Structure 1
Amino acid sequence: MAPPPPEPISSSSSDLTLMDPEPMPSENTPLITGKSTDEAEDGAHHKPSKPLPKMQVFLLCFAKVMEPIAFFAIFPFIAEMVAKNGNLPKSDVGFYSGLIESLFSATQMVVLYFWGHLADTIGRKPVLLWTLAGMTVATFFFTVSTTIWQMILFRCIAGVFSGSGLVIRTMLSDHTTSETQAVAFSWFAFANNMGIFLGPIIGGVLADPVEQFPSVFKGIQLLEDYPYLLAGVALTVINIVSIVLCIFYLEETLEPEPTETTSSTAGPVIRPHRLSTRELLKAPGVAVVIWVYTHVMFLAFAFTAILPVLLYTPVKLGGVGFSAFHISLWMATQGAAQAAWLVIAFPFLQRRIGTKGSMAACVVAYPFFFAGYVVMNFLLRADTESAMAAFWVVAPIVAVVGPGVSMAFTAVQLALNDVSPNPHVMGTLNALAMTAASAVRSFVPGVSTVLFAIGVHNQILWGHLVWAILIPIAMSLMIFVKWLPEDKQSHKLAREREEDED
């Protein structure tokens, strides 16, 4: 069993934990009791070298899979569910479906800071369990809703309890060092992708079983009255497994705050001091890392929204004109390639060139990745033998090499870990970054698809208006990456090069 969480420290909810020595420390005084000056000035994440706790990482990644499964499982049937529950014409279904998902993101944006602060105060494990349990209950009741207002209510409640992702990020940060964090967060990203992949499959296969599998389920009144109950039960069972495993095997990672030192060499007595959110944002490197984090999420949300529509849109309008089968094959290929880049390539790359170097490489590649879809369309428009031959050279590069830009998601998370002033604000720092990302997600997908539709409908720039906007936005990210503070892995590599030269 995990040790009990540390006692809460009374303060206003707008305060964050930071250690402040008394009397006033010199510039080199450690922030955390019992650590050397060198360790302290490296920040919160620089810990003594230790092996990666594989079982703890596995449990956290398994819990992470549950969140996107619960989120994306409703996508295959939400439009049908809205139409049935609201008795609506097809023309109104899209509005209410979009409203339900936008409210989820809006609710999440409001509460993430609360969950992050709570995780920094009473402990990571209880907050993780509460959020997982709340998401499970809300998702189940969503699947048995019989009116649109019930759907909205329970989706908003699910948004309220959507803090497990930030707690898992924080616990992974607590478990890792600068040498092991790349591997752990690569598996974290892989787990998220697995949830995105499995969620729609579970929801699609189990939705309305009476209609899909009449030979098995026809005549079962409960499933006829609640066509999405079976999907809700499956999601509940899966989440309960994760919750039970976390209860019995997951360890608390928030260490109690030291209040005084006993070592004569550790420095003066230390007492808890409070840092406001504004002061946290002014801490070295924090603001620019959160900006880069939000910028990367902006590009990701926009591309994710545009891709399915682009692949479906006819070539003459600016798309690729794939069939449903080819769209599925393309997206599956990109998903597999992204997983390989995250799990295999990123840890190696991060060890070789550091977090900032890895981030810079992804940022340089982003505009070319986006431009690849424009090139594909122009080659298909040309429809000559040489153009088609060139297309079959460009398309695999876009599908397999292009998803390497997804390593930016993991790199910016490691950058966030590195700038945390100390472990006791890691949850709040993650919450601030994810709140900004949630704000972006509440409007970017919709705006992106509207811009795509405008460009296609009016043939602005041959239908490539949205890329003409996104490519410069991607290029501008290069400016902000230059402002990122040097990460610990880069410092380590620099020291090793100096030692080799000596």
Structure 2
Amino acid sequence: MDEESARTSSQPIAQWQSERAGGPDALQLLSSEQTPLLLKSNVPQPLRTPLPWKQLFILFWVQLAEPLTSQVIYPFINKMVRDMPITGGDEAKMGYYAGVIESSFSVTQALTVLYWSRLSDRVGRRPIILLGLLGLTLSTACFGVSSTFWGLILSRCLSGALNGNAGVIKSMMGEITDETTIAQAMALLPVIWNAGATIGPVIGGWLSNPHERFPSLFPGHFWKAYPYALPCFVVAIYCAGTLILTFFLLEENSNEFPSKSMKLTNPTSGTLEVGNTSTSTPSTTPTQRSQLPLSQVLTPQVRISIITYTILAFLDIALRAIQPLFLTASPSFGGLGFNVPLVGTCLAVFFLASGVYQALAFAPLYAWLGSKKIYMVSMFMFIPIWVLFPMMSASLGEDKLINALTWVELALQIILYVIMDMGFSSAFIYVRASAPNAYSLGVTNGLAQTGVSIARAIGPASATSLFALSVQISRGAHTKPGLAFRWLGANLVYEIFILISVGAVIAVRRLPEKLELSKANEEVDVNGNEL
């Protein structure tokens, strides 16, 4: 077979390369953590598969909808709660109610995302993605016109219950990437998230209260009665447009997946192996392929990958909840006292810097350091990030005014956040690689997203509640003797998350050291037996 016919045959690229190199065993990878996806020096490196940019573009467009809908509320949610008759005018209680609203999306998503992921293995990815976009459109619009606490809760719950896209998108990306493109593709997921997390706060900060800020453009009672409807409507329109785009352009892949997939060929060896798998025979239906019991899906590698990903998501969402609360709260309540537009701008800078860095730096760093080292460094960055919060508060001094030192500390926190955010790309790779076999990719991502959704459900509420508790302790600390007690009580929230961050670094150390290429076209069960 000549090279041209081999390229155009139905055989996967990895098998064609294997034949040229002297058989499939020649492609076995003897890797180190520093070079996780490189071949032996005496074996030709696999040809790079072109990225399917058309399908990736649509998936990224869909992925953008979730951070937009979740992050658009952060600049104004605390003020929105404070304006409602539920806190009794007590600003210290603001964090409790804001945290419950922020968490309600993830609570309902945690209850349903595994169902949507498993259903996508049966009916296909495309219908589930379309339904998720419809849910985001309706719920975001309803949130903007909700005037009661329970109306806000119901809107967020509806959004989470109908949206299983986070896990389904990762599964679909697993079907259209291979070992030569995984780092580049997975590195773009956090970029898309951060793009949405950049644009969302800007929309929420600058389009809130349009009746007061742009009276000539938004006159009338409606915009005065619903000051936060405009940013929600803008995001809902984006979701509706994405729904139309997806309906016409997204191609279904589930009937023939997985043509390219990572899989674990030896669950007991502590080694994750990466490779192409053959397209299933016509007699194997999507339903038959997705029925691997959960007890067999939850291999040790799957469990540790999910645990570390969940801890990362918990710390990240807690940070995202604390950051706007810290920036918004007055200095007497342990914050910096920024206004809503400035909060939106600061959050946008955080996420924009991270997105640019991810797009440019992750793939080269991945090839140089490997996934595990990047993961460990990313987790470690949480420790100084949390330390900087009380440092910024202390830098205000007695006059409680922002000074140059405060801005330097805030800039340093942005830099550390950018480094930390690389951990998500590593987490995606580990979860994808840990799938027990080629046909459990959907349920593996569903389980991972369930853990992440639980973390994102309890993260905002616990973080903001701890912040409120710290404020209450600080305000009552004048009755207690000792500077140490006052300082420890006022910073209780940061101390707890520093300890969790240390535990996260320890957890990442338990991940497998090596990522290896498996034999081309080999399908295996959870015990490593060839099917």
The answer to whether TM tops 0.5 is yes
Distance 1:256 1:392, change over 3 A: closer
Kept in 2, the 8 Å contact 1:455–1:466? The answer is yes
Distance 1:76 1:476, change over 3 A: closer
Q: Does 1:249 align with 2:249?
A: yes
Offset at 1:378? Answer: 6.4
Kept in 2, the 8 Å contact 1:48–1:177? The answer is no
Q: Match for residue 53 of structure 2? A: 54
Offset at 1:250? Answer: 1.7
Q: Match for residue 499 of structure 2? A: 472
Q: Match for residue 110 of structure 1? A: 111
CA distance, structure 2, for counterparts of residue 189 and residue 321 of structure 1 = 28
Q: Match for residue 165 of structure 2? A: 164
- Which blocks of at least 5 consecutive residues in structure 1 are unaligned? 1-34, 259-264, 493-502
Offset at 1:55? Answer: 2.1
CA RMSD of aligned residues (A): 4.2
Kept in 2, the 8 Å contact 1:120–1:254? The answer is yes
CA distance, structure 2, for counterparts of residue 396 and residue 145 of structure 1 = 36
SS of structure 2 residue aligned to 1:216: coil
Offset at 1:464? Answer: 3.3
What CA deviation, in whole Å up to 9, does each residue of 1:98-156 have, x standing for no partner?
44433322211111111111112211111111111122123223334465544433332
The code of the aligned residue for 2:294 comes to T
Offset at 1:292? Answer: 0.4
SS of structure 2 residue aligned to 1:141: helix
CA distance, structure 1, for counterparts of residue 61 and residue 209 of structure 2 = 27
Q: Does 1:296 align with 2:336?
A: no
CA distance, structure 2, for counterparts of residue 82 and residue 311 of structure 1 = 16
Offset at 1:48? Answer: 8.1
Kept in 2, the 8 Å contact 1:139–1:232? The answer is yes
Offset at 1:448? Answer: 2.5
- Which blocks of at least 5 consecutive residues in structure 2 are unaligned? 1-22, 31-36, 39-45, 259-277, 478-485, 520-531
The code of the aligned residue for 1:167 comes to V
Which of the numbers 362, 372, 386 marks the counterpart of 2:378? 362
Q: Match for residue 293 of structure 2? A: 276
Offset at 1:309? Answer: 4.1
Distance 1:97 1:419, change over 3 A: same
TM-score by length of 2: 0.70
CA distance, structure 2, for counterparts of residue 344 and residue 419 of structure 1 = 26
Q: Does 1:181 align with 2:208?
A: no
Aligned residue runs from structure 1 range 119-138, under 5 A: 119-138=120-139
Offset at 1:226? Answer: 6.0
What CA deviation, in whole Å up to 9, does each residue of 1:394-435 have, x standing for no partner?
664443244301111221111101111234322222221221
Q: Match for residue 69 of structure 2? A: 70
Aligned residue runs from structure 1 range 376-415, under 5 A: 396-415=411-430
Distance 1:326 1:419, change over 3 A: same
Q: Match for residue 364 of structure 2? A: 348
Distance 1:479 1:201, change over 3 A: closer
CA distance, structure 2, for counterparts of residue 211 and residue 390 of structure 1 = 34
Distance 1:366 1:156, change over 3 A: closer
Offset at 1:285? Answer: 0.5
CA distance, structure 2, for counterparts of residue 197 and residue 99 of structure 1 = 23
Worse overlay, 92-101 or 199-208: 92-101
| Count of residue correspondences | 443
Distance 1:322 1:149, change over 3 A: closer
CA distance, structure 2, for counterparts of residue 87 and residue 52 of structure 1 = 51
Aligned-pair identity (%): 30
Q: Match for residue 270 of structure 2? A: none
CA distance, structure 2, for counterparts of residue 331 and residue 71 of structure 1 = 13
Offset at 1:93? Answer: 7.2
CA distance, structure 2, for counterparts of residue 301 and residue 141 of structure 1 = 23
SS of structure 2 residue aligned to 1:403: helix
CA distance, structure 2, for counterparts of residue 379 and residue 90 of structure 1 = 28
CA distance, structure 1, for counterparts of residue 330 and residue 494 of structure 2 = 16
CA distance, structure 1, for counterparts of residue 232 and residue 350 of structure 2 = 29
